[in-house]
Amino acid sequence: MSVMLKALATWSDCYKANKKMSGGKPSGIVVHSTGCNNPYLKRYVNLPSICGENVYKNYFGNDGTDVNPHAVIGKDKNGVVKGVQILPYDICCWGCGRGSKGTYNYDPAYIQFEICEDGLTDKIYFETAFDLAAKFCAELMSTYPTIKIDNVVSHKEANARGYASAHGDPDNWLSKFGKNMNWFRDKVKGYLKIPAATAPDPTKVTYAKLSDIVDTANASISTIFREKGSSWSSGWHNGVDIAAAQGVSIKAAADGVVVNADTVAHNDGFGNRVILKHADGRATLYAHMVSTPPVKVGQSVKKGQIIGYVGNTGLSYGAHLHFTIIDNYDKNPNIYYSGDLLDPIKVCGMGTLKFNSQVSNVIVENGISRNLGDLNKYYGVLGVATSSSGAKPSVSSVSFNVGDIVNFSGTTHYTSSSAARGTNCKPGAAKISRIANGAAHPYHLIAECGGGSTVYGWVNSFDISALGQKTVDEIALEVIRGDWGNGDERVKRLTVAGYTAKVVQSRVDVLMK
């Protein structure tokens, strides 16, 4: 998936000339900077939906000059740094002029791109723009093995070799911040590195969504974790209740070993139940099953394996699954021990489940009253909550428009913007064809040709991002590591890079907990 958007300058004489590179492969890359104080892409690129409108229409290929590079990096209409391809990479561009020995426009032909200069004083813009440029170069080198790192050069270096006109860009900009092209090439090398394969962590456990534990589309959450009430000996509920029809299959939330498979003969309120112990030290309890569980103590089970069926045994007033997560199970293997219980919604996520009418007004968290809207807001920060009338609108860190090409990182699309259940699809590049503001799944995507995705339907906001951007989770982890600085500096850097600081901080807060 490319770090660059695409808006080919099909009107330009260079595009129409369509002079193919020798063998259709570039020999190197020339990095340019524009030489004027205008960092906005709209000056050079005709992509008004993302870059904004150039009322003078003097973008590359339409400005009365012969200049037409392959791509441009700069700020979009929202001030976010992005890159746009404007020529096919296998044709010769008009970029660097002629030197004493010839020109890198032709033979040997180099891919050439411009970085929009500002006043050469904004360090954050400088770092963000050149970081995207380094990623772009690494992407091109991965696509075209004919490009070697020594042939990633500036316009100034191309002139020194005798293959470009006498310009000093972008070295003039780099020197303002104590950098040079060797520094830039080192950044490119860094993005070319392939991390060594690491052995999987046997203690890392990924839990299934709650909607995947109960094998039916007709299920809902009827009681939440820590809901207060006299029905429970502790005075509050120690798990979640998932209402479903009797006999519906119950599946293991994760790989584990059966450590308890008691029946109503040992009735303590939970009726027929199974407890699985997992590699991370946690245990999951599945209670009120309809009959003797189909698994035995000591048996190993896999995530998604059927371990029982929804029932109404024990202290129960209707068919449902009671699901509890116990942390540090070996510390106190007591299903009533309250010190190490975890909220299943926070650990697993609701998936496509919704709160049913029984959760319209409940008391949770030390007597604090929460209505249904409060609960959706409380759990919505995790991107998992749904409401009785459909899913809570998902949150994205970037606003998009119809026609934008985006990175779809999810694996589910929906037939409508409010559908409760979706179907599987592949992630990749896709185009936004419709927007339903405020809906549960507000963006309708169509897979982009060659983008790898199979999406065709409505998707969540948090499953899409601008091409070349990382997910909110990835950025949040970098913030926790300290990569983005602190305070106002962090907010500015995140904003320039295209992320909403408040959304990232919300995710940081969740991960830190």
Q: How far apart are the first and last CA of the chain?
A: 33
* Residue 114 host element (H or E): strand 110-115
β-pairing verdict for 152-154 and 28-33? parallel
Q: If you average pLDDT over residues 53-81, what whole number do you get? A: 89
Q: What pLDDT is stored for residue 148 in this prediction? A: 94
Torsion angles phi and psi, residue 51, rounded to 5: -90, -15
Cα 344 to Cα 324: distance, rounded to the nearest angstrom: 7
pLDDT value, residue 383: 34
pLDDT at 359 over 60: no
269: left (phi over 0), alpha (psi -120 to 50) or beta: left
For 355-468, strand residue ranges (E) read 361-364, 368-371, 386-387, 390-391, 405-408, 412-413, 423-424, 428-435, 443-447, 456-459, 464-466
Does the pLDDT value for residue 349 go beyond 90?
no
The candidate with the shortest Cα–Cα distance to 222, out of 114, 354, 132, 94, is 354
pLDDT at 172 over 70: yes
Q: Where are the alpha helices (DSSP H) in 363-441?
A: 372-380
pLDDT tens digits along 470-488: 667 778 777 877 778 888 8
Instruction: Tell me how far apart the alpha carbons of residues 274 and 258 are, in angstroms, rounded to a whole number.
Output: 7
The token pair that represents 324 in the structure block: 């509890």
What pLDDT is stored for residue 385 in this prediction?
31
pLDDT at 386: 31
Query: What pLDDT sits at residue 265?
Result: 57
The percentage of residues in the chain with a pLDDT greater than 90, rounded to a whole number, is 44
Alpha-carbon distance of 445 to 433, in angstroms, equals: 6
Place of tokens 């020109």: 103
**Triad 440, 444, 445: Cα angle to 5°:** 130
Q: Chain-wide mean pLDDT for the chain? A: 82
Summarised one tens digit per residue, pLDDT across range 328-344 is: 787 766 655 555 788 89
Greatest CA span in the chain, whole angstroms? 94
Contact assessment for residue 115 and residue 90, using Cβ atoms and an 8 Å cutoff = no
Please count the other Cβ atoms lying within 10 Å of the Cβ belonging to residue 389.
9
The residue ranges of DSSP E strands in 229-327, in sequence order, are 240-243, 249-251, 256-260, 272-277, 283-289, 300-301, 306-309, 320-326
Q: Is the pLDDT of residue 357 over 70?
A: no
Over the stretch 119-137, which tens digit does the pLDDT of each residue have? 999 998 999 999 999 999 9
pLDDT reported for residue 387: 30
Take residue 64 and report the two structure tokens written for it.
């009365």
Q: Are 110 and 148 in contact (CB under 8 A)?
A: no
Per-residue pLDDT, 362: 55
Does residue 251 surpass a pLDDT of 80?
A: yes
pTM for the whole structure? 0.44
Task: Determine the pLDDT at residue 147.
Answer: 95
Q: How far apart are CA 91 and CA 70, in angstroms?
A: 9
